[in-house]
């Protein structure tokens, strides 16, 4: 069922499917809730899935204020959960959705039964990454969103997947054309300014899931191995031959890991 709330000056749409334990699947940068298509299909028989379109993505309008932060998106998610009457949930975020998940865990720890980072990290951007983002913003400003996505989206996939699934990658790029430049720049700026949140992992009183792609260049295995030991309870899965997009690259493996985590934390 499609639902909506008003948050600040934006209209936020989200899907609710299935019954039982509330589980939120939060998409990443230049995606919308359709990125969880395979997971929705599989998990809806086991829990109540909440699938937001973040402000500016999919059917949700963007936040209009200046200097939007990752915490603003976490506050938006909190408003959505309040609207749904959800006191506690399992929150699973992909990449940028994971950064928002960590901010949410810092701001509203009592609302989480467990949380997970799917190809995401608690480290802040280093100077090199900030430089790459600044170049990305210049590319969007000078050449537009489509050019930017054509240049960057393939980097999210493993070499093997790229060889065999060119059409699916092109589809994702085509869908991305609907994003406004302003939204993608808002996300990039918010990501660049986000703080290190390793302390959130250290302080977490709930289980934390890490899903890591062995070939992920955006949330690299080496970086993630430096943080998986921080929570009291970690569930760690390394998916071989996957990069940043196991939702599409290795859906069956990911689905099983998510279900196991959700079931263990019920
Ligand atoms: C994402 O997939 O959400 C982004 O690649 C995250 C990032 O750029 O750090």
Q: Is 218 in the pocket of ligand 1 (CB under 6 A)?
A: yes
Which two three-digit tokens encode residue 182? 């302003």
Model confidence pLDDT, tens digit, residues 223-239: 999 999 999 999 999 99
Determine the average pLDDT of the residues in 214-229.
Answer: 97
The model's confidence at residue 128, banded by pLDDT at 50, 70 and 90, is very high
The model's confidence at residue 266, banded by pLDDT at 50, 70 and 90, is confident
Determine the average pLDDT of the residues in 143-156.
Answer: 96
Query: What ligand 1 atom has the least distance to the C-alpha of 133?
Result: 8
Q: Is 93 in the pocket of ligand 1 (CB under 6 A)?
A: no
Determine the average pLDDT of the residues in 169-179.
Answer: 93
Query: What ligand 1 atom has the least distance to the C-alpha of 28?
Result: 3
Q: Is 29 in the pocket of ligand 1 (CB under 6 A)?
A: yes
Q: Is 176 in the pocket of ligand 1 (CB under 6 A)?
A: no
C-alpha 122 – ligand 1 centre gap (Å): 12
Determine the average pLDDT of the residues in 139-157.
Answer: 96
Half-sphere exposure for 70 (CA within 13 Å, toward CB): 30
Alpha carbons 232 and 148: distance in angstroms, whole number:
40
pLDDT surpassing 80 at residue 94: yes
Model confidence pLDDT, tens digit, residues 46-90: 999 999 999 999 999 999 999 999 999 999 999 999 999 999 999
Residue 201 makes CB contacts below 8 A (sequence gap 6+) with 102, 122, 208, 227, 230, 231
Is 216 buried (19+), middle (13-18) or exposed (0-12) by CB count in 10 A?
buried
Indicate the average pLDDT of the chain.
97
C-alpha 19 – ligand 1 centre gap (Å): 30
pLDDT surpassing 80 at residue 115: yes
What's the confidence (pLDDT) of residue 87? Answer: 97
Query: What ligand 1 atom has the least distance to the C-alpha of 191?
Result: 9
Model confidence pLDDT, tens digit, residues 1-18: 999 999 999 999 999 999
- Could you tell me what percent of the chain has a pLDDT over 70? 100
């Amino acid at each position: 069922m499609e639902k909506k709330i008003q948050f600040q000056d934006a209209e936020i749409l989200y899907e609710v499917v299935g019954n039982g334990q509330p589980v939120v699947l939060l998409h990443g940068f230049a995606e919308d809730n359709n990125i969880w298509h395979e997971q929705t299909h599989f998990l809806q028989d086991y829990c109540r899935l909440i699938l937001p379109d973040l402000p500016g993505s999919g059917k949700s309008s963007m936040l209009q204020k200046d200097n939007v932060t990752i915490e603003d998106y976490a506050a938006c998610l909190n408003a959505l959960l309040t609207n749904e009457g959800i006191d506690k949930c399992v929150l699973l975020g992909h990449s940028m959705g994971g950064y928002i998940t960590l901010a949410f865990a810092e701001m509203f720890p009592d609302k989480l039964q467990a949380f997970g980072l799917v190809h995401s990290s608690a480290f802040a951007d280093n100077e090199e990454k900030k430089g790459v983002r600044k170049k990305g913003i210049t590319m969007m400003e000078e050449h537009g969103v489509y050019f930017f996505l054509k240049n960057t989206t393939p980097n999210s996939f493993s070499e093997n997947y790229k060889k065999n699934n060119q059409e699916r990658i092109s589809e994702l790029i085509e869908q991305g054309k609907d994003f406004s430049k302003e939204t993608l720049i808002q996300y990039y700026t918010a990501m660049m300014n986000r703080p290190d949140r390793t302390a959130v992992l250290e302080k977490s009183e709930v289980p934390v899931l890490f899903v890591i792609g062995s070939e992920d260049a955006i949330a690299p295995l080496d970086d993630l191995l430096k943080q998986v030991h921080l929570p009291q309870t970690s569930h760690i899965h390394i998916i071989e031959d996957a990069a940043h997009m196991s939702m599409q690259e290795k859906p069956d493996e990911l689905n099983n890991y998510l279900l196991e985590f959700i079931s263990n934390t019920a």
